Structure 1
Amino acid sequence: MIPQPTPAAPPRPARILIVDDSAVMRALLRSVVSSDSRLEVAGTASDGASALRVIDSVRPDLILLDVEMPVMDGLSTLRQIRARPTRIPVIMCSSLTQRGAQVTIEALASGASDYVAKPTGQPSREAAVQALAQDLVPKILALTALGSPSHGSARGHASAFPLSSPAAPPRTPVTANLAFSTPPQQPPSGFAPAAVLIGVSTGGPAALDLLLPGLPAAFPLPILIVQHMPELFTKHLAERLDSRCPLRVHEAAEGEPVRPGHIYIAKGDWHMEVSAHSAMPDHHSSSAPVLRLTRQAPENHCRPSVDVLFRTAAAVYSGRLLGVILTGMGHDGLAGSRILRQHGGVLLAQDEPTSAVWGMPGAVAQAGLANRILPLNAIASEILRLSARSQREAPDLRETDPREAGASGIGWVTP
């Protein structure tokens, strides 16, 4: 009798630690976690100090962490967790308030893997559980590497920042073994971009917090960014980045000219489009392309959508675009990246080891659309290298900004 192979044991459920001072919210999160057989509740805690005491004993695979708590709040707790040698994914649970959004942005930039908004205005507890599960469960699965391929692979110790940790297990870059439909192609030697487009989602605030301060005040191009995030959050993200970057960073506004040396963050729940001309009748002062904010239907379940930005920008700038796809869940940006490359643009993708979730950049890389696949800490220098030709050809494009005083000593990396 031929022995039959022993079937592989199913993967154990991901263990989730719930930390929230509200008993009602703890019960709600417990119901959400219990709604998926791939997840289980490892334990609960009513404040950050209690959570820190039980982490080693319950050994969670992921922590759901409330932003505002007594004794020790979420941001302080997160910093204590990140000071430990293990890298546990943390999802912040935030209220949709100014204070909640501001603290959540700080937490995401400090190493939180993602966030979820607490449900409001639901007609029943069951409706609240369903709404929260729809948003939260896919994020948990992606960050614990249990999601479907469409969610992308995740680091076993997300978040990915800082870029390396002595406690992180060694990993072989996935990009070394990818079966590309076409191999990555080096950018053409004469490429001179007129604008930089960035698409990012899960892990984005921390990635942008590392990438954008690496661009000098004399940077000659506009930078347009789609970060998947609600409206209240994108405003605080722009304000935080503006305080840290040599370049001007602000949330995009309807009809605003696209100016060199400015960074525009798409407004949450609004698509950001690029138009060759302003739709405003009194706008005659600039021939620059302008931004349009629309409430058209979401694309890839996203508004703002990376695809919308890339597609409309390609119609205006043609091949003079440098696209960058950073960490994120899903595949938003894939169709837009294909259009960008068809027009002759150049595309950079973040690599898997430095991505919190390698969904968006992984989709672009596996489709053979990326000219280069790079770790996060190498992307700013590559943007500078590719923009050097634009700097030489148009040295007088930029407007004077007070922050640029004394910035003339910054050197450009030449191709």
Structure 2
Amino acid sequence: MTVRTIVVDDSPSMQKLITAVLETDPEIEVIGTASNPIEAREMIKVLDPDVITLDVEMPGMNGLDFLERLMRLRPMPVVMISSHTRKGADATIAALEIGAVSCLPKPRMDDEAALQEMRQNVKAAASAKMAIQGRQRTSGDARTKPARSAVLKRKRGIDVIALGASTGGVEALTEVLSGFPANCPPTVVTQHMPEHFTKSFAERLDRLCAPKVVEAADGMPISEGHVYIAPGGVGHLTVAGRTEKLCRVQPGQLRSGHMPSVDVLFESVAKAFADKAAAALLTGMGSDGAEGLLALKKAGALTIAQDRATSLVYGMPAAAERLGAANHVLPLRDIASALFGGGTEVTQNVCA
């Protein structure tokens, strides 16, 4: 099946570059290019694409305003293309919460790994089309505003929680972490995201959730009531120590096609905390995290995979399920309480 794609960017040279990158894959066809949202709207009506790529920053109606209207009136898979700037990163995180499938930096022809990632993201976005349309029909604005929720008090001793996600992970992690109380166990997170974007993501989560959410740094002590997000593109996040718990962020080779890698994080948690850990592998394409979740299960940790019905892209959790790595396969809404052991004493979360 060919993925029919429209490229929306105000730069003619960037339109040509993105088109050239995508069309090196025989499974992708660029059926049109648009310079602004008005042109894009008319083109979408006529051509009915499977996916659009959308520049965050454009004259007139910006990409975020256009995306919000598109997802409300005609939901479809959108891959956001952003500059490597703080403004671009902030806008991209907002776009992911509105409903974009993934975010990517502007392409460079000398970075083949990034070009391949763009092609893979467009194809993954197409596979998520039905999920996006179904989600928009049922969830409305609740998707971007996590509701106040009760958090089940844990019965078992958990020293560390680890979470991994990729495509669709911004929404998934927001929902899971909005179920965490202010005094949650130290929580470490790897979300596949470009460099510079993870700081904006951490800051946005920090505004939404009760625990303190920060971008992890090498040597940073980890403590109760804190969530640590792996920085994008600079190294792998790992944890060390039972007595003095520390984040480690160190350069390395790609693992499962990614840096940071969920597998690397999960395996470090299994080694350091064994049966005192709990972990969940959420929505995303590929298989990163599946082997790490299996290592955690073998070490005695509580392991969870998100189910097919609530995953935007059922790749990573499916790989974990095939390996038998998950103690439980659960819908997204049940994962926070399961991580805390499913106790019966209910405390009210204070996330907005």
CA deviations on 1:64-113 (whole Å, 9 max, x unpaired) are 000100011111111011102x4311000111111111111111121100
Letter matched to residue 211 of structure 1:
V
- Residue 265 of structure 1, CA deviation: 0.4
The runs of 5 or more residues in structure 2 that have no matched partner are 141-153
User: What are the within-5 Å matches in structure 2 for residues 227-242 of structure 1?
Assistant: 227-242=191-206
User: 1-side partners of 2:216 and 2:132: how far apart?
Assistant: 30
User: 1-side partners of 2:299 and 2:161: how far apart?
Assistant: 15
User: 1-side partners of 2:158 and 2:58: how far apart?
Assistant: 47
User: 2-side partners of 1:165 and 1:59: how far apart?
Assistant: 23
Aligned match of 1:135: 117
* 1:135–1:159 Cα change, 3 Å: farther
User: 2-side partners of 1:231 and 1:54: how far apart?
Assistant: 32
Aligned match of 2:293: 337
**Which structure's CA Rg is the greater one?**
1
Aligned match of 2:145: none
Letter matched to residue 37 of structure 1:
P
Bigger mean CA deviation after superposition, 358-367 or 156-165: 156-165
Aligned match of 2:273: 317
| TM-score normalized by the length of structure 2 | 0.88
Aligned match of 2:240: 275
User: What are the within-5 Å matches in structure 2 for residues 1-400 of structure 1?
Assistant: 11=1, 13-84=2-73, 86-120=74-108, 122=109, 127=110, 133-145=115-127, 154-158=128-132, 161=135, 164=138, 191-219=156-184, 221-268=185-232, 269-276=234-241, 287-386=243-342, 388=343
Letter matched to residue 67 of structure 2:
L
The count of corresponding residues between Structure 1 and Structure 2 is 335
Letter matched to residue 38 of structure 2:
A
- Residue 143 of structure 1, CA deviation: 2.1
User: 1-side partners of 2:166 and 2:98: how far apart?
Assistant: 16
| TM-score normalized by the length of structure 1 | 0.75
* 1:78–1:62 Cα change, 3 Å: same
Whether contact under 8 Å (1:253, 1:293) holds in the other structure is yes
Identity of aligned residues (%): 39
CA deviations on 1:301-354 (whole Å, 9 max, x unpaired) are 211111111111111111111110001111111111111011111111111122
The runs of 5 or more residues in structure 1 that have no matched partner are 1-10, 146-153, 167-188, 278-286, 393-407
User: 2-side partners of 1:248 and 1:92: how far apart?
Assistant: 28
Whether contact under 8 Å (2:56, 2:63) holds in the other structure is yes
User: 2-side partners of 1:16 and 1:209: how far apart?
Assistant: 29
* 1:105–1:160 Cα change, 3 Å: farther
Higher helix share: 2
CA deviations on 1:126-177 (whole Å, 9 max, x unpaired) are x47x5653121111122223xxxxxxxx4534377558369xxxxxxxxxxx
User: 2-side partners of 1:101 and 1:379: how far apart?
Assistant: 28
